[in-house]
């Protein structure tokens, strides 16, 4: 069994530090040895003696670590000398030294911050363009598949469509109605507070009705459906892709767009207008609390 790699510092005479390397200096031990060497303090010594007579094994990684230690100490003004070096290891140390001298480290020019910023912006733009092309490709493929199904109505999957209508429409009614009701209450109180400054708080209910019916109702409903149903679609189809179920459909000759995408898109086309109507109705209870009697 190989002896464990070791590195320690011994007491020296005068301004000379005595270091010792022993054991198996191979690639498996260089990480720990490197940390030990970097923690070594020579306490102002100008010379160092590295005793390597205890080495039992030495490969290229260990030889490089020894050579680098000598090189770095020499750069710090410390003269270091190897003692007790086995003759079979000397050619290996000479080899790594020659390789280092023949291929010095290249000082790469680092770009400035403005160049890095421009590179990041350019990469983001390219990624956006690629993402847009992918979305356009997916949209075109979906439309073509939809036309194929319309030409052959028997291929339309009614059971999947009804199931998706239930999940995207019926199951989403409570969250859409609740949020639109709360948003209507907040808008009513905030609008009444601002209109009161102009003695026009009587217009709060009318303004809220116009705002919700024309803009806020459909917008909030679309955002909620995109966040709720869109994320569910992504997770479900993504898990099917991971489990290779989509590949299995293609192998059996079934179009994944026809089976997985069209029922969900058609369900959203049917349920979103209905949910928008339900959301507009859901904010109506917030209006009477803000409607004030007209003065005579």
What is the model's pLDDT at position 173? 85
Q: Is 221 exposed, middle or buried (0-12, 13-18, 19+ CB in 10 A)?
A: buried
Ramachandran angles phi, psi of 50, nearest 5°:
-105, 110
pLDDT tens track for 142-195: 899 888 888 888 888 888 888 888 888 888 888 888 888 888 788 888 888 888
Calpha distance 74→57 (Å, rounded): 25
Domain boundaries, the chain: 6-102, 109-155, 157-290
pLDDT of 235-289, one tens digit each?
888 888 888 888 888 888 888 888 888 888 888 888 888 888 887 776 555 454 4
pLDDT (0 to 100) of residue 290: 47
Most confident of the ranges 95-109, 128-142, 177-191: 128-142
- What is the value of pTM for the model shown? 0.52
pLDDT tens digits, 183-197: 878 888 888 888 888
Task: Please report the sign of the dihedral spanned by the C-alpha atoms of residue 63, residue 67, residue 68, residue 69.
Answer: positive
Please give the residue that has the higher pLDDT: either 11 or 101: 101
Query: What gap in Å lies between CA 26 and CA 266, rounded to an integer?
Result: 65
State the burial class of residue 229 (Cβ atoms within 10 Å of its Cβ: 0-12, 13-18, 19+): buried
Determine the topology of domain 6-102 in CATH. Answer: Transcription Regulator spoIIAA (3.30.750)
What's CA 215's distance to the chain center, in Å?
Answer: 34
Could you give the strand order of the β-sheet that contains 47-58, starting from the edge strand earlier in sequence?
6-10, 16-25, 47-58, 79-83
């Amino acid at each position: 069994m190989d002896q464990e790699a070791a590195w320690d510092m011994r007491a020296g005479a005068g301004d000379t530090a005595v270091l010792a390397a022993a054991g198996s200096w191979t690639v498996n031990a260089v990480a720990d040895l490197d940390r030990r060497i970097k923690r070594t303090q020579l306490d102002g010594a100008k010379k160092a003696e590295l005793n390597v007579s205890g080495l039992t094994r030495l490969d290229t990684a260990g030889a490089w670590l020894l050579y680098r230690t000598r090189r770095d100490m020499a750069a710090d003004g410390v003269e270091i000398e190897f003692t007790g070096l086995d003759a079979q290891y000397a050619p290996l140390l000479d080899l790594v030294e020659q390789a280092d001298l023949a291929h010095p480290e290249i000082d790469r020019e680092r770009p400035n911050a403005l160049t890095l910023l421009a590179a990041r912006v350019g990469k983001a733009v390219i990624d956006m363009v690629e993402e847009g092309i992918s979305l356009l490709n997916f949209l075109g493929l979906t439309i073509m598949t939809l036309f194929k199904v319309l030409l052959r109505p028997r291929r339309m999957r009614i059971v999947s469509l009804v199931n998706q209508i239930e999940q995207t429409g019926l199951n989403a009614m409570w969250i859409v109605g609740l949020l639109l009701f709360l948003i209507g209450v907040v808008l009513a109180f905030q609008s009444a507070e601002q209109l009161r400054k102009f003695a026009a708080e009587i217009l709060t209910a009318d303004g809220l009705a116009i705002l919700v019916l024309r803009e806020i109702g459909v917008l909030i409903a679309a955002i909620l459906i995109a966040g709720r149903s869109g994320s569910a679609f992504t997770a479900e189809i993504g898990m099917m892709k991971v489990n290779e179920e989509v590949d299995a459909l293609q192998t059996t000759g079934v179009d994944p767009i026809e089976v997985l995408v069209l029922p969900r898109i058609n369900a959203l086309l049917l349920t979103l207008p209905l949910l928008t109507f339900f959301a507009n109705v859901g904010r109506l209870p917030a209006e009477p609390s803000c409607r004030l009697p007209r003065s005579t």
